[in-house]
Structure 1
Amino acid sequence: MPLFINRDQIFAHQVHLLEHKLRSKEERLLELETENAILHLRLAECLGKLHLGHEEKTKALAHHQHHRNAEKITQSALTKLLSEVQALKQDLSEVFAVYVSFANELEEQSKQLLKKVDQASLTLRDHNGDEVHDLQARVEALEHSLEEEKERCRAERQRRKELHNTLVELRGNIRVHCRVRPVLPIDNIQFSGPGPAPSEEVVYAISDDTVVVNCLKTGMPVQNKIFEFERVHGPEDSQDDVFEDIKPLLTSLLDGYNVCIMAYGQTGSGKTHTMIGSQPLGEHSGTKQEAQQGIIPKAAAELFRLISEKPAESHTVEVSVMEVYNNEVFDLLARDEQGNAVSQQRDVITTSSGTSQVTSLTSEPVFSASEVMQIVSRVLKLRAHCNTLVHTDSSRSHLIVTLTISSKSPNALALARRLQNAKKDMQRSTQREFWSPRCHRANPAARNSPDKLFGSPSNSPCLSPSPSPCPSPGRTTSPTPFRTKLQLVDLAGSECVGISGVSGAALWEVSCINRSLSALSDVLGALAEQRPHVPYRNSKVTHLLQDAIGGDAKLLVMLCVSPTQRFITESLQSLGFGTRARQVQKVLPRRKNNTLKDK
């Protein structure tokens, strides 16, 4: 018999046929037994009718005889079926015995084949051991080379990012970061129609600088739209990860540059969570709550940390908070005559220097990050909110928190020039001794003593590069104060009335919000296309943030995007806004060195 004939299948097939015949015979036997029982019932009925008459008795006897004949036939058929069943059982037992013998034989042959395979593998290992070792060495070398290439790729990617940031810095472009929030319960709604489900995730952060949107349409192939930004954060990134890429901007504040961080996106996309956080700003009882803080409290903490590394009392900080509600500017730190907090309307004007300014804006000095957080937490209660189908506490106004830093550091350039002049004067004085006649402390004995040139005021002569050698009070290295601003903006979210479900007075709020955001988009479009006229005054938001959007401040836009199909229209609009913002080439950021005017 051949070695690889599938005997199991053959025997199994035969067993299956025999079992089928056995089942058919048993079914036939049950049918005959049922028929026999029916005949018995009919016989009983006939016997019960014997008293009806002789003819009926004769018929009954004939009928009984007929049934007896049928019973005999049935019994003979049953006997034949029983004999056939016995024969089938005998055949089945024989087939099973043959199957067992074949299985044992196949097991023995399998063992012999395994032994032969082991012997062959041992022989092959003995003959090709060196080749296998060489292959393993080549694999290890390739893996090492792959790791080196990966490391080089990471280094090149980091270098490319640094060069890109430098290019953004030199070209004066707006930095744009994007954050894709996770799927929330508001995304899961009942849907039973054609097309993609509203809760289906279609916006993905595929890398640290790329966002992909799957545009799904019924009966149409999937179209992927790709957007690139300076930094992209996925749903898994924490608040610390988001702030880590923003932290370097805060160092520029103490270097003399204005900075503005703006959160843009639709309602419910996570702007307020990104800017403020999900925990109350006044609470700092644990690291978990601090990890949930947004950009505003973290920026305040980082700012005061940087100030603590500077000389004492070299920087002072003031905070002001405004909101733009229904295209009107309100001062949230204002107070009434009784000293109670009240939202006071203010005007935005353009100064002679071309900068925007809020008249009579209230500012409060702060000395720590906790004071900033307490103030912001207090005024958030005055901010306009509304309950919608998308968000239970939707912000209906644009919130602007401004930290003004007054630096008293000396002008480094002027100080360096004075030191160079002093050095030249000292060298000149060693060749020609010009002592000021006004310097009544000039001592001839001190002329030949260089150690006394920098002695105490009571015995040191005064050197001067001018005809009057003693330095005048107007030329001392006194500090030159200058001011810089950190503006943290939480814009109200754009929304569709059909999705948010607002009505009544809230419709006017939605109209004002969408018009102000459209005005912001128009301003960016005009700046990107370098039009001669930029429509800053079309909205109070753009007029108020004119210095940050088109001025010389370092501006970072944080796009907040929803990931699901339900909000894909607003998500595409937000991503398009960010792409347009990246194309804006602003005025190069300049250091602020204007002297503070005396009040």
Structure 2
Amino acid sequence: CLEKSSCKPLQVEIKHLNQKLAELEADQQEAREKIRSLLNRRTPAVPPDKTTPKPAVDPSQLRKVSRLTRELNISNKQLRSTAHQALADIKNQLGQFYDTVGKLAQVEQEATKETEELRSLYRKEVVERKSLYNKLLELQGNIRVFCRCRKSLASSCLEKTDDQEVVVIQKGNRKKFQFDKVYSPSSTQEDVFTGTLPVITSCVDGYNVCILAYGQTGSGKTYTMMGSKENPGVNIRSWPFILRWSYLSILGIYNDTLNDLLTKSPSASLDIRVQGKAVSVPGLTQVQVQTETDILSVMEMGEKNRKIASTKMNIQSSRSHLMVALEVEGSDEVSGLTSRGTLTLCDLAGSERISKTEAEGQRLVEAAAINKSLTALGQVFGALKCNALHIPFRNSKLTHLLQPCLSGDAKVN
């Protein structure tokens, strides 16, 4: 039966036939009972000695009982036929159900197998994507230099000719400098952060990433890195993109000594320990952070403990290098791959000319330590550029600490 309209007459006909069959079987059973009764009434050869009188039976009651018995037999036959049919239907449906369950189990096995194949392909795709992405960054340069021109009320001696070139005008002479990217004085904090974001993302892929802010005192390094509450810098903007289960530490390098800026006594000196290629600072406080609020509170504490003083070139001159290190652990829920990387955000103290700052006493000692460490950093970059066999990382504590961030497959901005 393919359509409901054609099934209904057939079902009615089957029901009618079942009823007729039950009536015929009831009539057959009734006829058998009558024949059996007639046989039992046959006259015996020897008459009995005593005849027992039979009670009189009302013929109408007898007919009524016979009719009810026949109807009861018909109902019994119909019920039995219906029960047999229902059991047959149930058996048929159970067979179909078992077949369906078997097919579903087979489909589930095939789906599981296909899912595993897709997971395997996804893992390969993730690894290949990371490899290609980081190869692209390597082609652009593992060490990239950006230039941000600060706004000035006076006539500027800088001219931005294009996105990769700036011209310095001094005493009528024009000198060109090439960079990977040049930001004009009108550039925003968001523009600068967008340029550094591809490198920051590599940290989640398991690379060591370092962003350095370098320049003369008062050139806007701290503003670019830290910014303000209303207009945050690279340090604050980078957290939402890499925030995982992380540990944050803040270190200050003042007069070539290491200070933990997250302790109650930040003036205590720390040492550097080297184990193989790993560089660590024993005793450095590491704070576990899970939310942006955690990071902001830790950063605020570290900024308060930083050495700041006034000079003739900058009212709030940073007298120490600030290094913010965030150890990031990332995991892919689908592929199950886990990666670990370190993001180091370094706000360097400004380079100074003693003749211009007129530093004396303690300010002079600070300026000498700052310039010495920055000179050592320049020597390291020069050796890296020339692929020198020896890189002078140990010439200062600044470069020694930055060694994992500047060597190997690390990426620097």
Instruction: Classify the TM-score, shorter chain.
Output: 0.5 to 0.7
Q: Deviations over 1:511-567 (max 9, x none)?
A: 0000000000111112222222211111000000011122321111xxxxxxxxxxx
The aligned residue for residue 178 of structure 1 is 147
* Structure 2 match to 1:350: 274
1:400 to 1:534, Cα distance in 2 relative to 1, 3 A:
same
Partner of 2:67: none
Aligned to 2:358: 501
CA separation in 2, counterparts of 1:341 and 1:240? 35
Structure 1's 239 and 258: CA in aligned 2 closer, same or farther, altered over 3 A? same
Q: Structure 1 residues 166 and 232, CA, compared in 2 at 3 Å: closer, same or farther?
A: farther
Residue 514 of structure 1 aligns with which residue?
A: 371
Tell me the equivalent position of 2:249. 320
The partner residue of 2:157 within 202, 206, 209 is 202
Q: 1:227 aligns with which of 171, 177, 184?
A: 177
CA deviation string 1:39-81 (max 9, x = no partner) = xxxxxxxxxxxxxxxxxxxxxxxxxxxxxxxxxxxxxxxxxxx
Among 292, 303, 307, the alignment partner of 2:242 is 303
> Following superposition of structure 1 onto structure 2, how do residues 49-198 of structure 1 map, counting pairs within 5 Å?
169-170=138-139, 172-184=141-153
Q: How many residues align?
A: 281
Distance 1:232 1:484 in 2: 28
Unpaired segments of 5 or more residues in structure 2? 1-133
**Does the Cα contact within 8 Å between 1:168 and 1:175 map onto a contact in 2?**
no
CA shift in 2, pair 1:411/1:549, >3 Å = farther
Aligned pair partner of 1:269 in 191, 202, 219: 219
TM-score (norm: length of structure 2): 0.64
Larger RCO, structures 1/2 (Cα 8 Å, 6+ apart):
1
Q: Deviations over 1:3-31 (max 9, x none)?
A: xxxxxxxxxxxxxxxxxxxxxxxxxxxxx
| Match 1:542 to one of 381, 399, 407 | 399
CA root-mean-square deviation: 2.2
The reply on whether 1:490 has 2:352 as its aligned counterpart is no
**1:266 Cα deviation after fit:** 0.5
Identity %: 39
Which amino acid is the alignment partner of residue 210 of structure 2? Answer: C
More strand as a share of residues = 2
| 1:329 alignment partner, one of 242, 258, 275 | 258
Per-residue deviation, 1:170: 3.2
1:407 aligns with 2:330: yes
In the alignment, the residues of structure 2 paired with residue 387 and residue 401 of structure 1 have an alpha-carbon distance, to the nearest angstrom, of 23
**Structure 2 CA distance, aligned partners of 1:225 and 1:383?**
36
Q: Is the 8 A contact 1:333 1:343 kept in 2?
A: no
Displacement after TM superposition at 1:171 (Å): 7.0
Q: 2:204 aligns with which of 247, 254, 264?
A: 254
The separation in 1 between residues aligned to 2:367 and 2:379, in whole angstroms, is 18
Task: Find the aligned partners of 1:408 and 1:265 in 2 and give their Cα distance.
Answer: 37
Residue 319 of structure 2 corresponds to residue 396 of structure 1: yes
Cα contact 2:218–2:350 (8 A) shared by 1: yes
CA separation in 2, counterparts of 1:402 and 1:360? 15
Deviations 1:451-498 (A, max 9, x none): xxxxxxxxxxxxxxxxxxxxxxxxxxxx56442111100000001112
Note the C-alpha offset of 1:303: 2.5
Matched-pair contact (CA < 8 Å) for 1:410–1:481: no
- AA partner of residue 187 (structure 2): D
List 4+ stretches of structure 1 deviating above 3 A: 165-168, 170-173, 340-344, 408-412, 479-482
Aligned residue type for 1:525: G
The answer to whether the 8 Å contact 2:242/2:328 transfers is no
CA–CA distance in structure 1, aligned partners of residues 405 and 367 of structure 2: 25
The aligned residue for residue 372 of structure 1 is 295
Using the alignment, how far apart are the partners of 2:334 and 2:351 within structure 1? 45
2:308 maps to amino acid? H
Equivalents in 2 of 1:341, 1:482: separation in Å? Answer: 34
- Give 1:223 deviation, angstroms: 2.6
Q: State how far apart, in whole Å, the 2-side matches of 1:551 and 1:323 are.
A: 25
Asked if 2 retains the 8 angstrom alpha-carbon contact of 1:527 and 1:534, the reply is yes
Question: What is the aligned counterpart of 2:169 among 203, 210, 214?
Answer: 214
Is contact 2:142–2:410 with CA below 8 Å preserved after alignment? no
Structure 1: runs of 5+ lacking an equivalent: 1-164, 185-198, 217-221, 281-288, 305-314, 335-339, 413-478, 557-599
Conserved? CA contact 2:208–2:404, under 8 Å: no
1:215 Cα deviation from its structure 2 partner: 2.5
